[in-house]
Structure 1
């Protein structure tokens, strides 16, 4: 089911705390194909040969989502080409790290199974020591083990997708990672009309659920000064997701003998519900309250 952007925000309990989410003092970097026209942008680091403005709408929609949820934040684009080789992705992540953002939103991933030891995932873990890195899980569902690099990075907040009614989106990539870890970590809404969209068409995919989760996370990172604690709070406060309407998982595409062996090793973990929707739908209201309680507890020590 599709819906308005307001329905997407309602699904993550954002409207209840919207007044606390202006974004002042926050810095968010998004790595994507470009930015939207007439949207607030502090700076752009262009790693491509094209204009910073996105002509394909992917990056423009991501930009609009973040700007709508955090209107007073410093939003910075690291523009990358498509296709994006791993070495240039690592360069983009390094440029983001230099900016010391609270959150990096990365709606770029693959669906090739990985154990997280690849260079891109390894560098995401490095960046995640300083900034929360929200990475789209991918659109490889219902195939199992379709969360690839760099979404399989252990320290990434890997974001799957559910519709605005809280039902797992059929194409949201499924875990586990090749080393058996469950992924994604959480889900956020897809299937909505993005803000500032002239065509008024809904967008689907984990590319658009990820900036929602990133925007929810940003003030928590500032409040707690800890990307890791923020990720755990988002997991602990997540709402349940309806898995019953999702199609059954498939194993199509796993033809390599090495992947089949990994599959057999991880067989007991395949139907762990966390490999479908992580810990559930992001809950901005509950996460903000828990973060405030944790901050107050720390301040009294």
Structure 2
């Protein structure tokens, strides 16, 4: 698929999409190509019926495209699923005739690495602001609505999994924002929780966008996004489009920075987007977490914007997830982000009660202008640690955007590739375990690599997998194997897992 053959549509495919289409066509005819495509408004008719149904109303050649499925996930953004055995140049030229840009429908992963007093929340509560009448959207793995410390106003499942929060990630995040427990009280414990379940393992960009639009349409003032993936272009990434529109319409977007630290330039999407308040992690002694992703972004901007507690934080446990009891300890920038979402909800309540227009830029400027400087580099801590009492004082001053000190870090990050040795070990592990840290696109490329696809597939796998998530899952598998009886253990499997972990450690900066 090169040269003249792709001339009709290659102009709109990202480099990753071009490689992905070629790999599926040449090595995986039984698989599907999953693309996210941007069309000018009005040039793609919204399908009738439920989400995910076949397109049945479209002028012209669309009626002949049997087997192709499409759904409009946001204004101008369409998720396309194309059978590999039909993905020829003629079909792609027809599908993408009026397309502006297309990229793989990438998978995103929870930014979890295997409080409220630190940011001064009780001082804000003493002022009478607790997030009342502010809708906070949890875009995550769902929320256990039966947890005694939580109250969920509305919820919807956009994922491929069950309605329950079997990962436990979203429930933990929701508790940090809005737990009503007297001991483990959420930052904005009187806020209104709305849950859009998009994670049941990895989730595609298109599902993320659908969940985000649903939360925005239900008047969420804050949307928390504790997940991430790599991006090669934080300016033109299609995931940015709905998030940018939400910010401009008044939604405060809060995103985790990622757990790919201490590598510089490792901020994940959506945290690398300008229209997000991006949050790194510190421990309860205000020390930067080694796993917290560092900036700058690939276009040279300082990120994260703030840091918040994200090491060994106790919050709500979903009864459908692993563990026992009502509470669970977790770490990660996933856990830091909801501290800032709760802080944003408190500032929104204060604005509304004071007659101040609660624009997202005002909330972001206020949180950054009032943050406690922890004396780390700007691309490690942003403006510093969230300080809610100071933020309430600063809000009345209508602070200007914060100018951060110059960083010692430059744009020098290249996505560290997984090695052929590691891929060989993962192929053996997958014979017994399904790896949730290897999403749909990476899984297909891993199969193609085994069939001889070579370095092109290896680069796409590396771009589609987060090493931090892969390491945590391999450690969990090793723990399961160690607990099995001698007759059930896979001695060779444990060797493959240990070899994979060793290879990851060798190739992690």
Could you say whether these structures have the same fold, taking a TM-score greater than 0.5 normalized by the shorter chain as the test? yes
CA distance in 2, matches of 1:115, 1:44: 30
CA distance in 2, matches of 1:196, 1:153: 29
- Asked if the contact 1:221–1:227 (Cα under 8 Å) also holds between the matched residues in 2, the reply is no
CA distance in 1, matches of 2:345, 2:232: 29
**SS of equivalent residue, structure 2 residue 152:** coil
CA distance in 1, matches of 2:326, 2:348: 34
**SS of equivalent residue, structure 2 residue 253:** strand
Change (3 A) 1:182 1:25: same
Tell me the alpha carbon deviations over residues 157-214 of structure 1, each in whole angstroms, 9 at most, x when there is no partner.
Answer: 0111111111111110111111101111101101234234537553110000001100
Instruction: State whether structure 2 residue 363 is matched by structure 1 residue 230.
Output: yes
TM-score, normalising length from structure 1? 0.81
Aligned equivalent of 2:140: 32
Instruction: State whether structure 2 residue 121 is matched by structure 1 residue 14.
Output: yes
**SS of equivalent residue, structure 1 residue 43:** strand
Change (3 A) 1:22 1:199: closer
CA distance in 1, matches of 2:378, 2:197: 32
Tell me the alpha carbon deviations over residues 131-176 of structure 1, each in whole angstroms, 9 at most, x when there is no partner.
Answer: 1000011000001111122111111001111111111111101111
CA distance in 2, matches of 1:28, 1:104: 6
Change (3 A) 1:144 1:193: closer
- Asked if the contact 2:131–2:348 (Cα under 8 Å) also holds between the matched residues in 1, the reply is no
- Asked if the contact 1:24–1:73 (Cα under 8 Å) also holds between the matched residues in 2, the reply is yes
Larger Rg: 2
Instruction: State whether structure 2 residue 381 is matched by structure 1 residue 277.
Output: yes
CA distance in 1, matches of 2:398, 2:295: 30
The count of aligned residue pairs is 259
Q: CA deviation at 1:285?
A: 0.7
Instruction: State whether structure 2 residue 342 is matched by structure 1 residue 215.
Output: yes
CA distance in 2, matches of 1:162, 1:199: 24
Q: CA deviation at 1:64?
A: 1.1
Aligned equivalent of 1:142: 262
Q: CA deviation at 1:67?
A: 1.5
CA distance in 1, matches of 2:307, 2:236: 23
Instruction: State whether structure 2 residue 209 is matched by structure 1 residue 76.
Output: no
**SS of equivalent residue, structure 2 residue 241:** helix
**SS of equivalent residue, structure 1 residue 239:** coil
Change (3 A) 1:127 1:211: same
Aligned equivalent of 1:155: 275
Q: Using CA pairs below 8 Å that are at least 6 residues apart, which structure has the higher relative contact order?
A: 1
TM-score, normalising length from structure 2? 0.49
Aligned equivalent of 1:101: 220
- Asked if the contact 2:369–2:394 (Cα under 8 Å) also holds between the matched residues in 1, the reply is no
The Cα RMSD (Å) is 1.9
Q: CA deviation at 1:23?
A: 2.2
Output aligned runs, 1:1-301, within 5 Å. Answer: 8-19=115-126, 20-36=128-144, 37-38=146-147, 39-68=150-179, 69=186, 70-81=188-199, 82-112=201-231, 114-129=233-248, 130-197=250-317, 198=325, 201-222=328-349, 223=351, 224=356, 225-241=358-374, 243=376, 273-294=377-398
Which deviates further from its counterpart, 134-143 or 75-84?
75-84
CA distance in 2, matches of 1:196, 1:89: 23
Q: CA deviation at 1:101?
A: 1.3
- Asked if the contact 2:134–2:345 (Cα under 8 Å) also holds between the matched residues in 1, the reply is yes
Change (3 A) 1:113 1:235: farther
CA distance in 2, matches of 1:195, 1:21: 21
- Asked if the contact 2:172–2:328 (Cα under 8 Å) also holds between the matched residues in 1, the reply is no
CA distance in 2, matches of 1:47, 1:200: 26
- Asked if the contact 1:182–1:278 (Cα under 8 Å) also holds between the matched residues in 2, the reply is yes
Tell me the alpha carbon deviations over residues 13-57 of structure 1, each in whole angstroms, 9 at most, x when there is no partner.
Answer: 112222333222111111001102322100002102433331221
CA distance in 2, matches of 1:86, 1:116: 16
Where structure 2 has 5 or more consecutive residues not aligned to the other structure, the ranges are: 1-114, 180-185, 318-324, 400-509
Change (3 A) 1:77 1:32: same
CA distance in 1, matches of 2:360, 2:348: 5
**SS of equivalent residue, structure 1 residue 182:** coil
